[in-house]
Amino acid sequence: MERIKTDILVIGAGSGGLSVAAGAVQMGASVVLLEDHKMGGDCLNYGCVPSKALIASGKAAWGQSHSEVYGVANVTPKVDYAAAKDHVQGVIAQIEPVDSQERFEGLGVRVIRERGRFISRTEVQAGDHVITARRVVIATGSSPFVPPIPGLDGVPYLTNETLWTLRHQPEHLLVIGGGPIGMEMAQAHRRLGSEVTVIEGASALGKDDPEMSAVVLEKLRGEGIAIEEEALAAEVRGKEGAIEVEVKDGRVFKGSHLLVAVGRSPNIDDLDLDKAGIKTNRAGIVVDSGLRTSNRGVYAIGDVAGGLQFTHVAGYHAGIVIRSAVLGLPAKAKTGHLPWATYTDPELAHVGLTEAQAKKEHGPKLEVVRFHYEHNDRALAERKAAGLIKVMVVRGRAVGVSIAGYQAGELINLWSLVLANNLKMSQVANMVSPYPTIGEVNKRAAGAYFSPRLFESDMVKRVVGLVQRWLP
C-alpha cells in the first residue's frame, strides 16, 4: 500500500475536477487526481459534446430538406445514422487530448486511474494508494436517473450515456422526459428522419419561463414531434424494436426505441462519505456558500454539489475552490449570474430571475421589457424571426433575462456579464452593435426599456420644445 501526501486531492476528472487540477498545479500546489472511468467525464463523453455534435448532424439534414425559402431547391437528405455517430465520436476525439491523462501528467498532476473512497476524515483510498491531502475536492458529477417505472427493468432502454453506442437509426424513438436533454435529442432524431414521441409527466421544458417554452414547443411540434404533456409513465413493456409506454390516464404510446431522460442523480454512493463526516441530501452533497462540506477540509463542486447541473457551473465552482483552497482567499459561489441554455432550434436561454420569480421578489417595482426577433433585420434575412427576449428590470438594472430564439445561447452571454457586474440598462443601451447582427436584439431590448421614457413623456416633449425655441 502506497501512502501519498499532497496539497490538493481531486476526485473525478470531469470538467470541474480537471479545472481545479490544472489551475492548482500550475500555481505551484501538488495535486493528485483520481478517475476510474473516462477522462473528461460526462460532458465530453456522454453529454454536452456528443449531443451538440448530433444536433449539428440534424441541423445539416434539416437544412437540405428546408432550403426552398432561400431560393435553393429542397432535397431529401440521405442520412447515414452510423456515419452521424462517427461524426460525434470524431468531435470527441478532437477534444480528448485537452482532457487526457498525458496532458495532466505533463502539467505535473499525479493521475491515478482508480475510484476513490474515504476511509477517515482525512484519508482517501484509491486501489493500492492511501492519500492524505490538505484539501480534498469531490467532483464526481452525476449519472442519468432511471425512475422506478414498472416494467422498465425488463425492456431495453437508452440513456444519455448509452445512446452514443446505438448505430442503427430508431424508426420511432420514444422519449420519457421533456426536459432539455429529452427535447434536444428528440429534435435531433426527428431531423435525422426518425419518428419521435416525447412523453412528459408534467409540462415540457417546465423549468423555463412558459412564454419562452411555448416558442420552442410550437416549433418542435411543427417539425412533427409529438409532445405529450401531463403523461406520467405508469408502465413500460415490450421488447427490442417494439416498445410500449402506458401512461397514468391509460394512453399507450408505441415505438421502436426508448430513451429515458428524466433527470440526473449525484454520484456519491461509493464514496463512503459518512466515514469523512460529510453530510448529504437527496440533491447531493451539502455545501456552504464557499462550496465546503460539513468536513471543512473537503469541498464539493459541480453536479455532485446539488445545485445547477451544467458544465459551466462546474467550471465556475472550480475557480471558487482555487481561490479558497489554493490561494487561501475568501470566496463564495453565487447563482444570480449563472446562465443556462437548451440547444433546440430555436434555442432557449436564461439568466437571473424568471418573470414569475421577479414579480414575487420585487412586486410593483418590476418592469418587464420585451423585444421580438421579427423586428431584427438579420433574423428576417436568416428566416429566423420566431422568438423574443424578455428582460426583467428593477430600478434601471436587469435582474433576469429570458431568450427564446435563434442564437439565444450566444445572446445570453452579454446578460450574464450585465448581472455579474450589476450593470445598468443605460450601459447596455450605450453599446453599439454592428448592423445587421442578431446581437442587436440585446441592444434593442435595452432601447425598449428607455423608449417610453423618451417618446411618451410629456415632460421630455416640453423640454425639447423649449430647447428648440432657444437653439440658434
Answer yes or no: same fold for 2-143+265-326 and 152-263.
Answer: yes
Average pLDDT, the chain: 96
Listed residue (405, 385, 413) closest to 345, CA to CA = 405
- The amino acid present at 366, given as its one-letter code, is L
Is 71 annotated to bind a ligand? Reply is no
The CATH class of the 152-263 domain is: alpha beta
For 386-397, write each residue's pLDDT tens digit.
999 999 999 999
Is 387 annotated to bind a ligand? Reply is no
Residue 367, pLDDT score: 97
Q: Check if CATH label 3.50.50.60 holds for domain 2-143+265-326.
A: yes
For 285-310, write each residue's pLDDT tens digit.
999 999 999 999 999 999 999 988 99
Is 179 annotated to bind a ligand? Reply is yes
Is 177 annotated to bind a ligand? Reply is yes
Q: What gap in Å lies between CA 237 and CA 157, rounded to an integer?
A: 11
Is 183 annotated to bind a ligand? Reply is yes
Listed residue (390, 400, 395) closest to 352, CA to CA = 400
**Mean pLDDT on 136-150:** 97
Q: Annotate 11-66 with DSSP letters as a single string.
A: E--SHHHHHHHHHHHHTT--EEEE-SS-TTHHHHHTSHHHHHHHHHHHHHHHHHHT
CATH number of 340-455: 3.30.390.30
Residue 458, pLDDT score: 73
Q: Which has the minimum average pLDDT: 158-167, 185-194, 414-423, 451-460?
A: 451-460
Is 116 annotated to bind a ligand? Reply is yes
Cell numbers linked to 299:
469541498
296 Cα distance to chain centroid: 29
Residues of the chain with pLDDT > 70, as a percent, come to 99
**Sorting pLDDT into bands at 50, 70 and 90, what band is 470?**
confident
- 233-239 sheet: strands from edge to edge: 233-239, 242-247, 252-255
Is 180 annotated to bind a ligand? Reply is yes
Q: What gap in Å lies between CA 62 and CA 76, rounded to an integer?
A: 9
Is 459 annotated to bind a ligand? Reply is no
Is 141 annotated to bind a ligand? Reply is yes
Is 86 annotated to bind a ligand? Reply is no
Crossing angle for the helix pair 440-455 and 408-420, nearest 10 degrees?
60
- pTM, full prediction: 0.95
Query: What are the residue boundaries of the structural domains of the chain, listed by start?
Result: 2-143+265-326, 152-263, 340-455
**Sorting pLDDT into bands at 50, 70 and 90, what band is 457?**
low
Is 206 annotated to bind a ligand? Reply is no
